[in-house]
Amino acid sequence: MTNAQLTLVQIDNYGPWTVTPDPRREMDLQTMQSRLFADLAQFIGGRGGYVFFTRFDNMVAITNGLDRTDHELLQETIGNRYPVTISLGTGIDASPIVALESATAGLQRAGSAQDGDRREVLSGDFLSASERTPEDVQIAHFDVNDATGKYTDQLNEFDSFIQIEQGYATLMRYLREEHGALSFFVGGDNIISICPAMSADDYHESIAHVEADAGVELKVGVGVAETPHEAGMDAKHALEACRHRGTAVELGVPHDDVGVATD
Ligand SMILES: Nc1nc2c(ncn2[C@@H]2O[C@H](COP(=O)(O)OP(=O)(O)OP(=O)(O)O)[C@@H](O)[C@H]2O)c(=O)[nH]1
């Protein structure tokens, strides 16, 4: 059984800040948001977690392996270096969406995202070392089949983007509704999902649904481990196994099983 620790990252009072005293230059906001995401990715990724940019003012992380002290340090270092602060809510559950619901509830109980005096909230629980197991995190790494040949080398960038986003929209909704999984576009033609304990059949059905609904063909590699980094690396190796074997779904392929490089 999986046991995901999710962290909701919310920029405090960001809406008002973007227009105070006057609306700020959009490219300055984009620069700040993407630098903040880069710093979160480095901090959380360096400790074995994954963070996704989602809407930038709110970001979702899977933080198995990060404890309360790590979260406090993250708030402190962002507060020291940025013109904004962040609140963090955590939740733990076998179902990723339930974990995120409880992470969200902690912040919502403390006040609104746009309360000027609700700052640097840290709410929720953390997995203790003794609770952690090698089955806690299931990561699925989806990739569009031959995106280069079908889209990038054929269509202009905007029409390629529409195709990829349609596949993403269909997949994210299906996995959310059928399995309580959380899916994030990570660039190119790649989608990474935080999943509960799902079977190969579940993944085959997900891929079939996206092909039928959006006309986008996917393959997926899946990894299971104690931390997002380890599960995510196994998922990438499993995706390489799909390419080598011509399969649509590969689960937990050992690194040396398909003649691909190990990390
Ligand atoms: N975030 C992320 N992006 C990747 C990764 N691998 C590839 N990409 C992106 O995906 C794009 C397409 O690469 P591929 O998926 O390898 O190419 P493809 O044409 O779809 O070919 P096949 O996947 O082999 O069918 C690249 O230009 C990158 O932007 C990855 O591991 N993570």
Q: How many domains does the chain have?
A: 2
Same domain (yes/no): 72, 116:
yes
Same domain (yes/no): 127, 147:
no
Nearest CA to ligand 1 atom 9: 188
Radius of gyration in angstroms for the set of CA atoms belonging to the chain, rounded to a whole number: 19
- Ligand 1 first shell, C-beta below 6 A: 143-149, 186-190, 236, 243
* Res 253: pLDDT: 57
Closest atom, ligand 1, to C-alpha of 141:
31
Q: Full-prediction pTM beyond 0.90?
A: yes
Same domain (yes/no): 203, 226:
yes
The residue to mutate among 160, 190, 229, having the most atoms of ligand 1 within 8 angstroms of its beta carbon, is: 190
Per-residue pLDDT band at 218 (split at 50, 70, 90): very high
User: Residue 192 — φ and ψ, nearest 5°?
Assistant: -110, 130
Prediction ipTM score? 0.91
Same domain (yes/no): 151, 240:
yes
Task: Tell me, yes or no, whether 262 lies in a domain.
Answer: no
pLDDT, one tens digit per residue, over 187-203 is 999 999 999 999 999 99
Q: Which sign does the torsion angle of CA 108, 174, 49, 227 carry?
A: positive
**pLDDT, averaged across the chain:** 93
Task: Tell me, yes or no, whether 263 lies in a domain.
Answer: no
CATH number at 200 reads: 3.30.70.270
Q: Containing domain of residue 127, as a range?
A: 4-131
CA distances from 66 to 7, 70, 71 (A): 10, 6, 7
Nearest CA to ligand 1 atom 18: 146
Same domain (yes/no): 105, 214:
no
Quick one: the chain helix, strand, coil %, rounded to 5?
Answer: 45, 20, 30
Residue where one domain finishes, among candidates 96, 131, 166: 131
Per-residue pLDDT band at 206 (split at 50, 70, 90): very high
d(CA 135, CA 138): 7
What is the average per-residue pLDDT within 132-146?
96
Span from the CA of 127 to the centroid of ligand 1 (angstroms): 33
pLDDT, one tens digit per residue, over 92-106 is 999 999 999 999 999
Same domain (yes/no): 89, 149:
no
